[in-house]
Amino acid sequence: MPGEFDFIEWIKTQQSPSDLVKVPVGDDLAVLKWPASDLLLVGADQVIDGVHFDSAVHSPRQIGRKAMNRNLSDCAAMACLPAAAVVTVALPKGLSVDYAKELYLGLKEAADVFQCPIVGGDTSTWNGKLVMSVTIMGRSAGVKPTTRSGAQPGDLILVTGPLGGSMKGRHLTFEPRIHLAREISKTGEVTSMIDLSDGLSRDIRHICRMSGVGARIDLMHLPIHDDIYDIQREDWRTFDHALHDGEDYELLFTATTWTGEQPEAWPVGEITEGSDILVNDRNGLHPLVPKGWEHAF
Protein backbone atom coordinates (compact mmCIF):
# COMPACT_ATOMS: atom_id res chain seq x y z
CA MET A 1 0.00 0.00 0.00
CA PRO A 2 1.21 3.52 -0.66
CA GLY A 3 2.11 5.50 2.43
CA GLU A 4 1.46 8.97 3.75
CA PHE A 5 3.85 10.75 1.40
CA ASP A 6 2.30 9.21 -1.72
CA PHE A 7 -1.07 10.29 -0.39
CA ILE A 8 0.28 13.83 0.00
CA GLU A 9 1.60 13.68 -3.57
CA TRP A 10 -1.90 12.72 -4.71
CA ILE A 11 -3.43 15.56 -2.68
CA LYS A 12 -1.09 18.00 -4.44
CA THR A 13 -2.68 17.01 -7.76
CA GLN A 14 -6.12 17.87 -6.35
CA GLN A 15 -5.43 21.49 -5.39
CA SER A 16 -7.99 24.12 -6.27
CA PRO A 17 -6.41 27.37 -7.46
CA SER A 18 -6.70 30.49 -5.29
CA ASP A 19 -5.30 33.99 -5.65
CA LEU A 20 -4.58 33.98 -1.92
CA VAL A 21 -2.23 30.98 -1.96
CA LYS A 22 1.46 31.74 -2.56
CA VAL A 23 2.88 28.40 -1.32
CA PRO A 24 0.38 25.50 -1.46
CA VAL A 25 0.19 22.11 0.30
CA GLY A 26 3.54 20.31 0.49
CA ASP A 27 5.69 22.57 2.65
CA ASP A 28 5.82 22.85 6.45
CA LEU A 29 3.14 25.53 6.24
CA ALA A 30 1.16 27.04 3.39
CA VAL A 31 1.80 30.71 2.65
CA LEU A 32 -1.16 33.02 1.98
CA LYS A 33 -1.36 36.69 1.11
CA TRP A 34 -4.36 37.94 3.05
CA PRO A 35 -6.29 40.80 1.39
CA ALA A 36 -5.33 43.93 3.34
CA SER A 37 -8.91 45.19 3.54
CA ASP A 38 -10.36 41.90 4.86
CA LEU A 39 -10.72 40.78 8.44
CA LEU A 40 -9.57 37.19 9.00
CA LEU A 41 -12.08 34.90 10.72
CA VAL A 42 -10.90 31.56 12.04
CA GLY A 43 -12.23 28.57 13.97
CA ALA A 44 -12.17 24.79 14.07
CA ASP A 45 -14.64 21.97 14.40
CA GLN A 46 -14.21 18.21 14.37
CA VAL A 47 -16.27 15.17 13.41
CA ILE A 48 -15.81 11.93 15.35
CA ASP A 49 -16.94 8.40 14.58
CA GLY A 50 -19.85 7.48 16.83
CA VAL A 51 -20.57 11.11 17.72
CA HIS A 52 -21.08 13.08 14.50
CA PHE A 53 -21.31 10.17 12.06
CA ASP A 54 -21.25 6.38 12.02
CA SER A 55 -18.54 4.95 9.78
CA ALA A 56 -20.44 1.67 9.58
CA VAL A 57 -23.32 3.49 7.88
CA HIS A 58 -21.98 6.64 6.26
CA SER A 59 -19.61 6.75 3.30
CA PRO A 60 -16.22 8.50 3.57
CA ARG A 61 -17.44 10.98 0.95
CA GLN A 62 -20.40 11.88 3.20
CA ILE A 63 -18.17 12.12 6.27
CA GLY A 64 -15.67 14.40 4.54
CA ARG A 65 -18.45 16.62 3.25
CA LYS A 66 -20.00 16.95 6.71
CA ALA A 67 -16.64 17.74 8.33
CA MET A 68 -16.13 20.64 5.92
CA ASN A 69 -19.75 21.82 5.89
CA ARG A 70 -19.90 22.14 9.69
CA ASN A 71 -17.05 24.61 9.41
CA LEU A 72 -18.50 26.40 6.42
CA SER A 73 -21.66 26.82 8.48
CA ASP A 74 -19.57 28.69 11.05
CA CYS A 75 -18.55 31.05 8.26
CA ALA A 76 -22.26 31.54 7.56
CA ALA A 77 -22.88 32.34 11.23
CA MET A 78 -20.29 35.13 10.97
CA ALA A 79 -21.39 36.22 7.44
CA CYS A 80 -17.88 35.77 6.04
CA LEU A 81 -16.63 34.09 2.87
CA PRO A 82 -14.61 30.86 3.29
CA ALA A 83 -11.06 31.45 2.05
CA ALA A 84 -8.94 28.47 3.10
CA ALA A 85 -9.12 25.32 5.20
CA VAL A 86 -6.67 22.93 6.83
CA VAL A 87 -7.56 19.40 7.90
CA THR A 88 -6.13 16.72 10.18
CA VAL A 89 -7.27 13.11 9.97
CA ALA A 90 -6.67 10.36 12.55
CA LEU A 91 -7.30 7.37 10.32
CA PRO A 92 -7.95 3.84 11.61
CA LYS A 93 -5.17 1.45 10.63
CA GLY A 94 -6.22 -0.96 7.94
CA LEU A 95 -8.36 1.48 5.99
CA SER A 96 -7.31 1.75 2.36
CA VAL A 97 -5.71 4.77 0.77
CA ASP A 98 -8.86 4.89 -1.39
CA TYR A 99 -10.88 5.49 1.76
CA ALA A 100 -8.59 8.38 2.67
CA LYS A 101 -8.97 9.79 -0.83
CA GLU A 102 -12.75 9.58 -0.57
CA LEU A 103 -12.64 11.51 2.72
CA TYR A 104 -10.52 14.15 1.01
CA LEU A 105 -12.83 14.32 -2.01
CA GLY A 106 -15.80 14.81 0.32
CA LEU A 107 -14.00 17.70 2.02
CA LYS A 108 -13.02 19.19 -1.30
CA GLU A 109 -16.49 18.78 -2.85
CA ALA A 110 -17.98 20.85 -0.02
CA ALA A 111 -15.19 23.44 -0.03
CA ASP A 112 -15.19 23.89 -3.81
CA VAL A 113 -18.80 25.13 -3.70
CA PHE A 114 -17.37 28.25 -2.02
CA GLN A 115 -13.99 28.34 -3.80
CA CYS A 116 -12.26 27.47 -0.54
CA PRO A 117 -8.93 25.67 -1.10
CA ILE A 118 -7.63 23.08 1.38
CA VAL A 119 -4.11 24.37 1.97
CA GLY A 120 -2.65 22.00 4.54
CA GLY A 121 -3.07 19.36 7.17
CA ASP A 122 -1.85 16.07 8.51
CA THR A 123 -2.81 12.40 8.21
CA SER A 124 -1.84 9.83 10.85
CA THR A 125 -2.96 6.23 11.17
CA TRP A 126 -3.74 4.74 14.58
CA ASN A 127 -5.47 1.97 16.49
CA GLY A 128 -8.61 4.00 17.01
CA LYS A 129 -11.67 5.23 15.15
CA LEU A 130 -11.86 8.03 12.61
CA VAL A 131 -11.46 11.62 13.87
CA MET A 132 -11.31 14.56 11.46
CA SER A 133 -10.58 18.14 12.46
CA VAL A 134 -11.11 21.06 10.10
CA THR A 135 -9.93 24.62 10.61
CA ILE A 136 -11.65 27.22 8.46
CA MET A 137 -10.41 30.70 7.62
CA GLY A 138 -12.88 33.20 6.25
CA ARG A 139 -12.61 36.76 5.03
CA SER A 140 -15.03 39.55 5.76
CA ALA A 141 -14.98 40.64 2.09
CA GLY A 142 -17.05 43.79 2.55
CA VAL A 143 -19.57 42.47 5.07
CA LYS A 144 -19.23 43.21 8.78
CA PRO A 145 -18.89 39.97 10.83
CA THR A 146 -22.05 39.07 12.73
CA THR A 147 -21.26 38.03 16.29
CA ARG A 148 -23.40 36.53 19.03
CA SER A 149 -23.16 39.60 21.19
CA GLY A 150 -25.28 42.42 19.74
CA ALA A 151 -28.86 41.36 20.55
CA GLN A 152 -31.01 44.03 22.25
CA PRO A 153 -34.35 43.82 24.12
CA GLY A 154 -37.18 44.20 21.62
CA ASP A 155 -35.25 42.57 18.75
CA LEU A 156 -37.02 39.89 16.78
CA ILE A 157 -35.59 36.35 16.90
CA LEU A 158 -35.64 34.66 13.46
CA VAL A 159 -34.61 31.40 11.80
CA THR A 160 -33.84 30.84 8.12
CA GLY A 161 -35.61 27.54 7.61
CA PRO A 162 -37.69 24.71 9.02
CA LEU A 163 -36.24 22.84 11.96
CA GLY A 164 -36.12 19.35 13.43
CA GLY A 165 -35.44 15.78 12.40
CA SER A 166 -32.04 16.39 10.81
CA MET A 167 -30.88 12.96 11.99
CA LYS A 168 -33.01 11.46 9.22
CA GLY A 169 -30.15 12.51 6.92
CA ARG A 170 -30.06 16.29 6.64
CA HIS A 171 -27.15 16.48 9.11
CA LEU A 172 -25.08 15.03 6.26
CA THR A 173 -26.53 16.87 3.29
CA PHE A 174 -27.25 20.41 4.49
CA GLU A 175 -26.00 23.43 2.56
CA PRO A 176 -24.15 26.03 4.62
CA ARG A 177 -26.16 29.28 4.48
CA ILE A 178 -23.20 31.42 3.50
CA HIS A 179 -24.72 33.51 0.71
CA LEU A 180 -27.99 33.89 2.63
CA ALA A 181 -26.07 34.99 5.73
CA ARG A 182 -24.32 37.72 3.79
CA GLU A 183 -27.63 38.92 2.30
CA ILE A 184 -29.13 38.99 5.79
CA SER A 185 -26.16 40.85 7.23
CA LYS A 186 -26.24 43.42 4.44
CA THR A 187 -29.77 44.53 5.45
CA GLY A 188 -28.18 46.32 8.41
CA GLU A 189 -31.02 45.14 10.67
CA VAL A 190 -29.18 42.16 12.14
CA THR A 191 -27.86 42.48 15.70
CA SER A 192 -26.54 38.93 16.33
CA MET A 193 -26.28 35.58 14.54
CA ILE A 194 -25.35 31.94 15.15
CA ASP A 195 -25.77 28.72 13.18
CA LEU A 196 -28.11 26.09 14.60
CA SER A 197 -25.86 23.16 15.41
CA ASP A 198 -26.73 22.34 19.03
CA GLY A 199 -30.48 22.93 18.73
CA LEU A 200 -32.50 26.15 19.06
CA SER A 201 -33.12 25.69 22.79
CA ARG A 202 -29.36 25.62 23.38
CA ASP A 203 -28.08 27.96 20.67
CA ILE A 204 -30.37 30.82 21.73
CA ARG A 205 -28.58 30.66 25.11
CA HIS A 206 -25.27 31.50 23.42
CA ILE A 207 -26.77 34.66 21.97
CA CYS A 208 -28.41 35.60 25.28
CA ARG A 209 -25.27 34.98 27.32
CA MET A 210 -22.99 36.87 24.93
CA SER A 211 -25.47 39.74 24.53
CA GLY A 212 -26.51 39.98 28.18
CA VAL A 213 -30.22 39.64 27.39
CA GLY A 214 -33.13 37.25 27.82
CA ALA A 215 -35.43 35.71 25.21
CA ARG A 216 -38.94 34.46 24.63
CA ILE A 217 -39.47 31.69 22.06
CA ASP A 218 -43.02 31.29 20.72
CA LEU A 219 -43.28 27.55 20.18
CA MET A 220 -46.26 27.68 17.80
CA HIS A 221 -44.28 29.94 15.47
CA LEU A 222 -41.45 27.46 14.87
CA PRO A 223 -41.26 26.36 11.23
CA ILE A 224 -41.41 22.55 11.23
CA HIS A 225 -39.30 20.48 8.85
CA ASP A 226 -40.86 17.79 6.67
CA ASP A 227 -38.35 15.36 8.19
CA ILE A 228 -40.65 15.14 11.21
CA TYR A 229 -43.81 15.03 9.09
CA ASP A 230 -44.57 11.46 10.10
CA ILE A 231 -45.32 12.83 13.55
CA GLN A 232 -48.73 14.43 13.10
CA ARG A 233 -48.40 18.18 12.65
CA GLU A 234 -49.59 20.32 15.54
CA ASP A 235 -48.68 17.43 17.78
CA TRP A 236 -46.61 19.07 20.51
CA ARG A 237 -43.84 16.56 19.91
CA THR A 238 -43.16 18.09 16.49
CA PHE A 239 -42.37 21.39 18.18
CA ASP A 240 -40.12 19.62 20.67
CA HIS A 241 -38.11 18.25 17.75
CA ALA A 242 -37.85 21.70 16.16
CA LEU A 243 -36.79 23.18 19.47
CA HIS A 244 -34.19 20.63 20.55
CA ASP A 245 -32.99 18.33 17.76
CA GLY A 246 -29.92 20.21 16.57
CA GLU A 247 -27.78 19.91 13.44
CA ASP A 248 -30.28 21.97 11.44
CA TYR A 249 -27.49 24.28 10.25
CA GLU A 250 -30.02 27.02 9.59
CA LEU A 251 -29.21 30.49 10.89
CA LEU A 252 -30.64 31.85 14.12
CA PHE A 253 -30.42 35.63 14.25
CA THR A 254 -31.83 38.71 15.88
CA ALA A 255 -32.93 41.85 14.05
CA THR A 256 -34.41 45.22 14.93
CA THR A 257 -37.12 44.73 12.27
CA TRP A 258 -37.82 42.24 9.47
CA THR A 259 -40.13 42.81 6.52
CA GLY A 260 -41.23 40.97 3.42
CA GLU A 261 -38.53 42.91 1.54
CA GLN A 262 -35.78 41.09 3.45
CA PRO A 263 -34.52 37.56 2.73
CA GLU A 264 -37.08 34.99 3.89
CA ALA A 265 -36.91 34.17 7.58
CA TRP A 266 -39.36 33.05 10.27
CA PRO A 267 -39.84 35.14 13.42
CA VAL A 268 -39.89 32.72 16.36
CA GLY A 269 -39.69 35.03 19.36
CA GLU A 270 -38.30 38.20 20.88
CA ILE A 271 -35.26 39.32 22.85
CA THR A 272 -36.17 40.50 26.34
CA GLU A 273 -34.65 42.41 29.26
CA GLY A 274 -32.87 40.42 31.95
CA SER A 275 -31.46 36.97 31.43
CA ASP A 276 -34.48 34.62 31.52
CA ILE A 277 -34.95 32.40 28.50
CA LEU A 278 -38.61 31.45 28.27
CA VAL A 279 -40.78 29.41 25.96
CA ASN A 280 -44.37 30.22 25.22
CA ASP A 281 -46.02 26.81 24.77
CA ARG A 282 -49.27 24.98 25.52
CA ASN A 283 -48.65 25.55 29.22
CA GLY A 284 -48.09 29.28 28.86
CA LEU A 285 -44.78 31.02 29.52
CA HIS A 286 -42.12 29.11 31.43
CA PRO A 287 -38.35 28.53 31.44
CA LEU A 288 -36.95 26.92 28.29
CA VAL A 289 -34.92 23.93 29.41
CA PRO A 290 -32.24 23.15 26.85
CA LYS A 291 -32.20 19.55 25.63
CA GLY A 292 -29.90 20.09 22.68
CA TRP A 293 -26.45 18.76 22.22
CA GLU A 294 -23.89 19.25 24.94
CA HIS A 295 -20.83 17.10 25.33
CA ALA A 296 -20.79 16.03 28.98
CA PHE A 297 -17.46 15.35 30.65
Q: Which of residues 202-241 bind a copy of itself (CB under 8 A)?
A: 210
Q: Residue 74 in contact with residue 43, Cβ under 8 Å?
A: yes
DSSP for 236-286? HHHHHHHHH------EEEEES---TTSSP-EEEEEEESSS-EEEEETTEEE
The Cα 196–Cα 193 span in angstroms is: 10
Helix (H, G, I), strand (E, B) or coil at 85: strand
**CB of 52 or CB of 228, closer to a copy of itself:** 52
**CB of 95 or CB of 113, closer to a copy of itself:** 95
**CB of 137 or CB of 243, closer to a copy of itself:** 137
Q: Residue 101 in contact with residue 12, Cβ under 8 Å?
A: no
Q: Using CB under 8 A as the criterion, what x/- string covers residues 74-113 for binding a copy of itself?
A: xx-xx-x---x-xxx-xx-x-xxx--x-------------
Q: Which of 62, 69, 123, 254 binds a copy of itself (CB under 8 A)?
A: 123
Q: Which of 63, 131, 200, 215 binds a copy of itself (CB under 8 A)?
A: 131
Q: How far is the CB of 248 from a copy of itself (least distance, A)?
A: 15
Provide the β-strand partners of residue 280.
218, 285
**H or E element at residue 133:** strand 131-139
Verify binding: residue 142, a copy of itself, rule CB under 8 A. no
Q: Which of 120, 176, 214, 246 binds a copy of itself (CB under 8 A)?
A: 120
Range list of β-strands (E), 33-130: 40-48, 81-92, 118-126
**CB of 104 or CB of 239, closer to a copy of itself:** 104
Q: How far is the CB of 79 from a copy of itself (least distance, A)?
A: 10
Q: Residue 18 in contact with residue 115, Cβ under 8 Å?
A: yes
Q: Using CB under 8 A as the criterion, what x/- string covers residues 40-69 for binding a copy of itself?
A: xxxxxxx-xxxxx-----------------
